[in-house]
Amino acid sequence: MRPEDLLRPTPQGLYCPPGDFHIDPTQPVERALITHGHSDHARAGHGHVLATRETLRIMQARYGDDFAGSSEAVTLGEALRIKGVTVTFHPAGHVLGSAQIAVEAGGLRIVASGDYKRRADPTCLPFVPVPCDIFITEATFGLPVFRHPPADGEIAKLLASVAQFPERTHLVGAYSLGKAQRVIRMLRDAGYDRTIYLHGSMEKLCRLYESEGIALGPLANATVASGHKADFAGAIVICPPSEITERWARRFPEPVACFASGWMRIRQRAKVAGVELPLILSDHADWDELTATIAELSPREVWVTHGREEALVRWCSLAGIPARPLHLIGYEDEAE
Ligand SMILES: [Zn+2]
């Protein structure tokens, strides 16, 4: 069997003809296998959805009970047969419930890794390398300039700033699924035990994480009662990145705009976004993690999906591994 006969890019996303299913389709399809809950990968409106239990819960929390015609939870590592194709989900280390999907038929195994990272994350299972013939990788940070520093150091930077400015509120912009909970959990691991305040849009997914056993410590709504602005002096508030410099931010005393993202590696990007304290914290693999993963798996071929494909494709060629970009559309740059 040729690889393209097992899995191929289509306008709706990756499609498996013999199994008649799509992986992370960007448009409604009959049968969808979903790697994780970020909205560019997990969309509402499919006929049938197969995903981890956590991902299904996230989709339900975001889109409501009727997010799909029907759904089925898969167990990590357990092989499923779909019309002659064997499918297995494996941890991807990206966010809670995130999985790589291995598709196998006729002695050929292709792993679609979805989004992934290799660093420790206290809010999800670590990435498991799955031997394969074809490895499909993302390339969100697929340029040598992207080297994320150790995450602990970024959290220490935030805590040092909180200690230095006890009269100001630190507003930490963080994507609502994954990043927000990781920042909170890492603050707890660093010994921060005060109440952490949440923008209203963060609450549902934080509660979901807690119900999955990820303790986030004391949390409260970031609602300022009139005349009590000073209550937030010295506090940490987690909010969507779009809010850190908006009108909403002005309700807090002398807010310090922070943004936790891999993009904060680019100084200009932080500056344009009005970020005073950039925190380089990513849920995607950086350049070293991408290349180390490919070297470790040593697949027969690499397919590169969304992000900066070209540099990674060239790196693979130089390493003697045939590689090609898939040019899939509809997936965003760490949109969450
Ligand atoms: Zn993602």
pLDDT tens-digit readout, 137-185 = 999 999 999 999 999 999 999 999 999 999 999 999 999 999 999 999 9
For residue 16, the number of C-alpha atoms closer than 13 Å in the C-beta half-sphere is 29
Sorted by sequence, the CB contacts under 8 Å of residue 199 that are 6+ apart come out as: 222, 237, 238, 239, 240, 243, 248
Task: Give the closest residue to 214 by CA, choosing from 190, 180, 258.
Answer: 180
Structure tokens belonging to residue 219: 């949390």
Count of Cβ atoms closer than 10 Å to residue 335 Cβ: 11
Looking at residue 225, what is its pLDDT?
63
Ligand 1 center to 94 CA (angstroms): 7
pTM of the model: 0.96
Looking at residue 308, what is its pLDDT?
86
Name the pLDDT band for 103 (thresholds 50, 70, 90). Answer: very high
Name the pLDDT band for 93 (thresholds 50, 70, 90). Answer: very high
Ligand 1 center to 167 CA (angstroms): 35
Ligand 1 center to 40 CA (angstroms): 8
Ligand 1 center to 294 CA (angstroms): 19
Ligand 1 center to 93 CA (angstroms): 10
Ligand 1 center to 164 CA (angstroms): 33
pLDDT tens for each residue of 284-306? 999 999 999 999 999 999 999 98
Give the Å distances, CA to CA, from 29 to 26, 41, 54, 314. Answer: 9, 13, 21, 33
Looking at residue 224, what is its pLDDT?
66
pLDDT tens for each residue of 178-216? 999 999 999 999 999 999 999 999 999 999 999 999 999
Ligand 1 center to 246 CA (angstroms): 25
Name the pLDDT band for 329 (thresholds 50, 70, 90). Answer: confident
Ligand 1 center to 228 CA (angstroms): 37
Largest CA distance in the chain: 69
